[in-house]
Structure 1
């Protein structure tokens, strides 16, 4: 992991940059999933606007964080009080530098602080190996939503010793 990664809670002032990170990560980094199909991309990104993200940032049931690498915002992730990891997106040129891992570990810490013992998520094909590396395991049949294959996964959470 790059030593210069800094993870912090996202704020409403971050909504615009978060929207841009998410959209670019989907369009460029997740091409394997959407196969450059404009309808699938539109369905995937329609609720990732700065306005939607701003409303998520004020919802007390959600936690969103942002990764800074060399003082540049490079990734974002979000979880819900229910234990669901909603997403983790990193700018494609910053893949495999530890930002995604740091974002998810921070989300898991927040979930543990909320008293949860398990996290769940729906992975894309692009992200499956990443989540397997972090200890998530498939837990149900893959399904298709809005043209995307979703792989349900879960992971037990333990407080640090």
Structure 2
């Protein structure tokens, strides 16, 4: 992991930048998944507004974090107390620099602190190799939601020794 990556819990002041990071990551970084289909993109981003994100930030069952790389906000991720990793988005120009890995590891640490021993997520095709690299494995049959292929994956979590 790159030493210049800083991960912190997102705050209400971050809602706007989180919305912009998520939408741009979806529109540009996930084109393989949505194939530039405007209806699929609209369905994917419809709940990624500042209003939705602001509500998520006040929900004690959710944890949102933000990554700064060279003091610039470059990524965001969210998990739920249920053990579900809801998303991890990184600005496309910052892919493969460790921000996504740091975000997910921070989420996993939060889940472990909540007493969970397993994380689950639904990956896109774009993200499948990334999640496999982090130790996630397919655990159920791929399904389609809003025109996207979703790959259910899970990973056992262990507290640090």
When normalised by structure 1's length, the TM-score is: 1.00
Shift of the alpha carbon at 1:62? 0.1
Partner of 2:88: 88
Number of equivalenced pairs: 161
- Which residues in structure 2 correspond to 1:47-66 (within 5 Å)? 47-66=47-66
Task: Give me the whole-angstrom Cα distance separating, in 2, the residues matched to 1:2 and 1:148.
Answer: 32
RMSD over aligned Cα, in angstroms?
A: 0.3
SS in 1 for 2:100: helix
Partner of 2:117: 117
Task: Give me the whole-angstrom Cα distance separating, in 1, the residues matched to 2:2 and 2:136.
Answer: 22
SS in 1 for 2:7: strand
Shift of the alpha carbon at 1:2? 1.8
Shift of the alpha carbon at 1:118? 0.1
Partner of 2:152: 152
Shift of the alpha carbon at 1:3? 1.3
- Which residues in structure 2 correspond to 1:129-140 (within 5 Å)? 129-140=129-140
**Runs of at least 4 residues off by over 3 Å:** none
When normalised by structure 2's length, the TM-score is: 1.00
Task: Give me the whole-angstrom Cα distance separating, in 2, the residues matched to 1:156 and 1:67.
Answer: 24
Shift of the alpha carbon at 1:7? 0.1
Partner of 1:7: 7
Task: Give me the whole-angstrom Cα distance separating, in 1, the residues matched to 2:12 and 2:62.
Answer: 13
Residue ranges of structure 1 left out of the alignment (5+ in a row)? none
